Each structure stands twice: as C-alpha cells, then as structure tokens.
Amino acid sequence: MSNFSFLNPFGVLDEPGTYMGDFYSNNFARKAQAGNVILNLGPQHPSTHGVLRVVVEMYGEYVVRSEPVLGYLHRSHEKMAEHKTAYGFLPNMGRVDYLNAIGWNWAYAGACEQLAGIECPERAEYLRVIAAELNRISSHLVWWGAFVLDLGAFTPILYAFDDRELICDILQRVTGSRLTMNYFRFGGVGADGDDLFFSKIRDFIPNMRERLKMYKALVTDNVILRRRLEGIGPMDADLCVRYGATGPLLRAAGVPRDVRRSIPYGIYDRFDYEIPVAETNDNFGRYWVRLQEISESLKIVEQAVAQIPPGKHIVDKAPKPSWKLPPGESVFSVEGARGEITVHVISDGGKSPYRVKLRAPGFSNLSVFAEAAEGTILADAIAILGSLDLVIPEIDR
C-alpha cells in the first residue's frame, strides 16, 4: 500500500487503479467501490487450507465481492498423462487429491477398464469398495477437524486424526502407503487383504461408532457451533446446478444425487445404505451430511467385510506397465469424498493415452463460493469456505 497517509489510514481506494498489487488484485480492484477495502486472503492465510488465494472486497466486516485465485499448486497432471503409459499414470492418481486417493484411483482405473473391456474378479470389487469407503471416512474426518479448526476449536482436529491414524494403518496393510495410495490396477487391486487387515477393520467399526457419538456431544451439539453454522451460506439446488457443484454440497441442497446410486458402478448396488440428504441448504446441512456419510460408509464397510468371497484379487494376465490402451474413448464417474470425480480417457492406440481429462469436484465446488459469500461477514465467509471441503491440489490438478 503506497497510498498510506493519515487522511487515508485504511488504504482505502480513492480512485481505481491506485492499489499496488499483482494482476489479479488490480483487475479485481478496478471494479471496487470507493471506500471499500481489498483484502487478500491467502495464499498463506491459515484457513485457506494450503495455497488457495481469495481476493475479497470488504465494506467493514462485510464481504461485498470475492474472487478465488487458483493455480498456486498446478502440477499439470493431465499433461503428464500424455507422456506416460496408461499404467504409468496410475500413481499420479493418488497425488491429485491427497485425501481421497482411492476415489481417484477408481475413477481412472474404471475409465481404462471400461475402454479395454476388462472385468474385475469378485473379490477385487469388494476390496475396492472397502478401500474406497475407508478412504472416504478418513477424508471426511480430516475435513471435520479442519472445518472446526476454521471455526476456532483446536481440539477436535486432533481427535479426528486419532481415528484417521487407524484408517491409515488399515489401508497401509494393503496399499503400502498412508496418504498417496496407489492401490488399484487395471483388472483388480494391487494386493489382497490378509487376516490382520480384516480383523483391524472389524475392530475399527465399533470403535468409530463410539467416537461418532463423542463427536456429536463435543462438537455437533455445541451451541456455539450450531449458531455459527445454522442458516449461514445458503446454496440452493439451483445455484449448485448452475456451477456444477456436486457431492455433499448438492445433497445438502436437497438433491439426492450420489453417483453410487444414480450411475451405479462397481458393486454398490449390493449394499444396504442410505444417501443422506439435508433440506436446510446451509453450512450445518453440509456438516450434517458429511457426518452422516461417515456412518453410512461404516455400514457399507461392515457389509462388505462380512460378504467378501474368496478368490483372486486381480485378473489373470492383468495389464503390464507397457500395456497400450485400445483406441477409443470412455468416461467414468465415481463418487469421491468431495463430489463427482469424472475421468475422460481418449486413446488413439498409442503408447500413452491421447488425452486424459480429470474432472475435479473441488473446482466446481469452489466456484460456488463467490456467490454464496456475497454479503456475509468475514467469519461466515471463512466458514463457507471451510464447508466446501476444499483440497487445493485437486482443484489445481
């Protein structure tokens, strides 16, 4: 701020264009009303979860206008796919969204299998469901902790990580890693679950149910949290559809859309579970939907562990690293923790795919923010940002 003076102590914009900033803030400031403050939230702000940057025009504590600025964590995953073999791109999938690695694994493996017409063995399908649902729970747990941290409570995130560690241990048994998991292969999964894997899951489920009760008593029922969330950040179905927001955002707006139900993939049609839907449209609805999803995922895991048949975890003659995709294209969607993950693979039969398009749910979900945060006060805008469950690497890809 070079225009600081005692007559103008707030760095208020007297005339457009006097603001010293980069292209984004200058462009943003051009439309600002005189007397409003342009505030840069991020990329190093504590509650933008990494390197998201939001330029906000503020009138006092009120957010008049906001604009997310992306691209601080762009790693060109889509371009990388064009230089690697189809198999070689699999490990990238664990890195697109570090909290929901299995969801992305499934989306890409599913798209390639659909294109090549590979069928998975029964046992592999069950292992996929178990891994995906456990990963969904762990992703929601991190979100829960981080969201409550955004609202100012420090302790719950550590309780959430307590439970998440158990899931990491379980998934490490089969995937070998705790975060950027690379578990799926074309035609099955990388490793079969052993007895310890299943017994750990069986121990985990009742333990987690007990902890969910504690979460409810400590956080969900807390009056401060309730009043911070209820009725804040309305995003109705129309808004979500216009921006393409999916997942818990859409379900909290009263639309029961879940890819597991609407375009069933894998063996999700064999399990008994519900799609939680909230009609309230607010931050609390999104919070409630995600917590319900944890218990629904627990139900699915419980059934899958009970029903899992013996057999092989991967097809015979599974594709090797040098395997070439047959020419053609395919689109495959799965329900990730943050919403609908879609992978579009186009192949010309060459060594590597011709083009891979990754549709990240977080990108569309973030676009809703500018409209939803309009006219709220700063603390609420932060709460809305938290309720979107953003993972910046996934948005930037």
Partner 1 sequence: MKMLSAIWDNLKGLYSLLVGMCITGRYFFQPLKTVHFPRDVVEPENLASYRGPLELARGKTDESKTRCISCQMCAKGCPGNCITVVKSKEGKNPVTWLYDFTLCCLCGACVEVCPTAAIQFSHRLYLVSTSREALVLDLLKDLEERVAAGPLPAAGAGTPDAKKPEARMPDAGGPQKAAGGSAAPDPEG
Partner 2 sequence: MELSKISVLSLVELVVACLLVIALMVANAIVMVYAERKGAGFIQRRPGPYEVGPWGILQPVADSMKLLAKQLFVPANVDFLLYFLAPVLAFLPVLLLFLPIPFGPYLTALKVPDGVVLILAFAGFGLLANLLAGYSSNNKYGILGAGRAVAQGVAYEIPMILALLAVVFQTGSMNLSDIAEAQGSAPWRWNFLCQPLAFFIYLVTLVAETNRAPFDLPEGESELTAGFHTEYSGMGFALFFLSEYANMLLVSFVCATFFLGGYKGPILDGFWWTFIKAYAVMAFIVWIRWTFPRVRFDQLLNINWKWLLPLSILNLWITAVIIKLV
Footprint of partner 2 (CB under 8 A):
1-2, 4, 9-11, 37, 39, 45-47, 61, 148-155, 158-159, 162, 218-219, 222, 224-225, 227-228, 377-380, 382
85 binds, among partner 1, partner 2, none (CB under 5 to 8 A by kind): partner 1
87 binds, among partner 2, partner 1, none (CB under 5 to 8 A by kind): partner 1
DSSP string, 2-56: ----SSSTT---SSTT-----HHHHHHHHTPPTTPEEEEE-SS-TTSTTT-EEEE
Nearer to partner 2, 153 or 308 (CB): 153
In the complex, the smallest distance separating the C-beta of residue 21 from partner 2, rounded to whole angstroms, is 12
Distances from the Cα of 163 to the Cαs of 144, 156, 207, 356, in angstroms? 12, 11, 9, 35
Axis crossing angle, helix 155-175 with helix 122-150, rounded to the nearest 10 = 160
In the complex, the smallest distance separating the C-beta of residue 111 from partner 2, rounded to whole angstroms, is 38
Helix (H) or strand (E) holding 106: helix 101-116
Cα 218 from Cα 153, distance rounded (Å): 11
Q: Which residues bind partner 1 (CB under 8 A)?
A: 84-85, 87-92, 95, 155, 159, 162, 169, 172-174, 176-177, 180, 182, 190-191, 196, 214, 217-219, 221-224, 226-227, 320-322
214 binds, among partner 1, partner 2, none (CB under 5 to 8 A by kind): partner 1
In the complex, the smallest distance separating the C-beta of residue 217 from partner 1, rounded to whole angstroms, is 5
Nearer to partner 2, 273 or 284 (CB): 284
Nearer to partner 2, 65 or 123 (CB): 65
Distances from the Cα of 309 to the Cαs of 114, 183, 231, 303, in angstroms? 23, 19, 46, 12
164 touches 142 (CB < 8 A): yes
Nearer to partner 1, 173 or 324 (CB): 173
Angle at 361 between CA 156 and CA 105, to 5 degrees: 85
Q: Which residue has the tokens 């990580």?
A: 161
Nearer to partner 1, 161 or 271 (CB): 161
**Omega before 43 within 30 of 0, i.e. cis:** yes
In the complex, the smallest distance separating the C-beta of residue 58 from partner 2, rounded to whole angstroms, is 8
Tokens representing 314?
């991967």
Nearer to partner 2, 241 or 379 (CB): 379
In the complex, the smallest distance separating the C-beta of residue 369 from partner 1, rounded to whole angstroms, is 28
In the complex, the smallest distance separating the C-beta of residue 309 from partner 2, rounded to whole angstroms, is 39
Cα 311 from Cα 122, distance rounded (Å): 7
> Nearest CA to 107 among 145, 135, 79?
135
Tokens representing 378?
């700063």
In the complex, the smallest distance separating the C-beta of residue 147 from partner 2, rounded to whole angstroms, is 10
21 binds, among partner 1, partner 2, none (CB under 5 to 8 A by kind): none
326 binds, among partner 2, partner 1, none (CB under 5 to 8 A by kind): none
| 204 phi-psi bin (left φ>0, alpha ψ -120 to 50, beta other) | alpha
382 binds, among partner 1, partner 2, none (CB under 5 to 8 A by kind): partner 2
Nearer to partner 1, 230 or 374 (CB): 230
149 binds, among partner 1, partner 2, none (CB under 5 to 8 A by kind): partner 2
In the complex, the smallest distance separating the C-beta of residue 17 from partner 1, rounded to whole angstroms, is 40
Cα 177 from Cα 371, distance rounded (Å): 39
Nearer to partner 1, 207 or 322 (CB): 322
Q: Which residue has the tokens 């046992």?
A: 123
Q: Which residue has the tokens 């697109």?
A: 96
Nearer to partner 1, 314 or 388 (CB): 314
